[in-house]
Chains A and B, each alone.
Chain A
Amino acid sequence: MDSRAPSVPERGPRPGRRGPGHRFARNPRALAGAALLVMFFGIALAAPRLAPYPADAPHLLATLHPPDRAYLLGTDNLGRDILSRILAASRVTLAIGILSMLVSLVAGILVGAVAGYAGGQIDAALMRLTDVVLAVPVFFLTVAFLALFGPSIPGLIGIIGLTAWPPTARLVRAEVLALRHRDFVSAATAVGASGGRIVVRHLLPNVVAVIAISATLRVGLAILTEAGLSFLGLGVQPPAPSWGNIIADGRAYLGIAWWVSCFPGLCIFLAVMAFNLVGDGLRDAFDPRLVV
């Protein structure tokens, strides 16, 4: 498979007798990422119980209040508690991140599997489409979409998902191409399995690792995209909180109330890093040579 003889050892733990799960569990960075993820999901699930105040309750006597015992992360210009808003926003952000990842995954698997399995002109056409979508400056397209269709959460999930599928499609196609002429596929064809059945039952289970790694990294990217759009005013619309739009709220008060923009940004950073750490950990555990 790899004709280059690497005189330099490949990155990551040596593939031994133990499985990928064991390698993942022995990778401290992957574990740190997993712990952060568990924490973020826990926070999102328990958000209504953890929040000290309702997310949109204005405390008019405590506007731009610095962090203290009453308001752990301070308040914004309307006197809304930043901690409560961050907690409420964690649900929106994680939901958009995961759902848009699922959209891009389904689109990517569909395009990649069909292109890889069908080959020929269908493959050429689908890969040309993939090239075009990869070359589009996605953010401009997303901005145009949100301007024409109006910003909404389903719209955000759709456009983030539908602009993010090309890398997944390429990976799945490459894996399917590599597997297509293996004996077990010929055997399935010989006993009369249909093309769809071969792809779903025989090929896709073999590319689960690649899909899982790609999916994890996609969630991080989707969270960054959503945060950027919400920061620009084109994503989650106020008064609904999102980490991105809380940062935008604090922008005008940066010099006098750093806490408004600081803490939600820290959350984005840590959440994205958690998904990246877990994604990298999965890659190292399954196959360090994968380029995802």
Chain B
Amino acid sequence: MAGALGAGGVAAYALRRLVALVPLVFGVTAITFALLVLAPGDPVTFLIPPEQRGAADLAAMRHELGLDRPLPLQYVSMMRDLVTGRLRSFGDRRPTLARVGEALPVTLILTAASMALTVTLAIPIALVAALRPYSVLDHGATLFSLLGISLPSFWFGLGLIYVFTAQLAWLPASGIRPTGAAGYNPSLIAPYLIMPTIVQALSILPVMVRYARSSLLDQLAQEYVRVARSKGLLERTILFKHIARNALLPVVTITALLVPFLLSGSVVVETTFALPGLGQLAVNAALARDYPIVLTTTAIAGVLVVAGNLAADIGYFYLDPRIRDG
């Protein structure tokens, strides 16, 4: 049964989930639009560069941008202008989508690396904590989590820069690649990503450990584990063959839920390490009052969250036979 569904099955499933996520895309972009409408002042001043705002053609520009139409239509035309590249940066006049497109790979690489590091660390920590609950190790993990969630990421980042750049001169403190280089050659960009990845991973590690630990504890208390033990199966077999898959499901969910958190964190972390990603683009645009860029980054960050949700849904598809075969 499972074999009969293959790629077609997952494609159909992904499409179904994508349709279900449409309201979320609408929601996040509508919130962005609502900000623009509610902000004090004429929305036209947020979309037209200051020197082009001659009184004579302001009405024409309002018309061209669709701002003289009812709100729902304004929303539609703003989204259209965004997608077609008509919305341009106040700074260099290039379409906002092009600027976001340049910044996006940096944020995606940072997010993926942080997520990978977090999962790699969280699962062994949670396993140790769950197998020996209330032991010294478990309490240590709890204390570590507490430290992790209380630590301001930019301060921790500056601390790393102080030690590994200012004192030891081991790692570069800013940028994504050496000056003059281009592209995302892993060996070139890796040194630039080490510190930001650690900072991002530490910010979500406590949440991930807590979820994985309680999920493992839940599974360990299940009837089927007792049955497997009474059959005399090796503890290792029970853990990896029986428990792992069930315990992983909530971990996949939390991974998707942590995507918005990581993206939010990237705003601060990218600025701390001067990484030219989406977060730094948003902050610099906000400081420079480059509103079209601010609006586009917010909308695109929302779309990324939806993509994260979709990825989790697909992960579920492979992990949970009830979805796959049902």
Contacts and interface: CB of A to CB of B under 8 A. Distances in A.
B305 A148 contact: no
B150 interface: yes
A258 B162 contact: yes
Contacts of B162: 254-255, 258
* Max chain B C-beta neighbours (<10 A), residue from A8, A147, A234: A147
B238 interface: no
Nearest to A145: B35
A148 B283 contact: no
A269 B260 contact: no
B36 to A, nearest CB: 7
Contact of A141 (B23, B32, B265): B32
A42 interface: no
A105 B247 CA distance: 33
A213 B158 CA distance: 31
A261 B28 contact: no
B31 A224 contact: no
B158 A144 contact: no
Nearest to B173: A254
B146 A254 contact: no
A135 B154 contact: no
A265 B286 CA distance: 24
Contacts of B279: 139-140
A251 B265 CA distance: 18
A188 interface: no
A272 B150 contact: yes
A8 B220 contact: yes
A273 B265 CA distance: 19
Contact of B221 (A7, A220, A280): A7
Given A135-B305, A137-B302, A147-B294, A268 B155 contact: yes
Contacts of A273: 146-147, 150
Q: Decide if the interface of chain B is mainly helix, strand, loop or mixed.
A: helix
Contacts of A11: 133-134
B171 interface: no
A277 B146 contact: yes
B264 A4 contact: no
A148 B271 contact: no
Interface in B120-156: 133-134, 146-147, 149-155
Contacts of B59: none
A234 B289 CA distance: 11
B197 interface: no
A272 B152 contact: yes
A135 B158 contact: no
A145 B152 CA distance: 22
Given A148-B39, A234-B283, A273-B150, A135 B309 contact: yes
Contact of A276 (B150, B217, B291): B150
A214 to B, nearest CB: 15
Contact of A148 (B152, B155, B257, B294): B294
A9 B138 CA distance: 13
Interface of B: 23-24, 27-28, 31-32, 35-36, 39-40, 46, 133-134, 146-147, 149-155, 158-159, 161-162, 166, 217-218, 220-222, 257, 260, 263-265, 267-268, 271, 279, 282-283, 285-287, 289, 291, 294-295, 297-298, 301-302, 304-306, 309
Closest 8 CB pairs of A and B: A265-B155, A139-B264, A132-B27, A147-B286, A148-B39, A273-B150, A137-B263, A255-B166
Interface of A: 4-9, 11, 128-129, 131-141, 143-149, 220, 224, 227-228, 231-234, 244, 247, 251, 254-255, 258, 261-262, 265, 268-269, 272-273, 276-277, 280
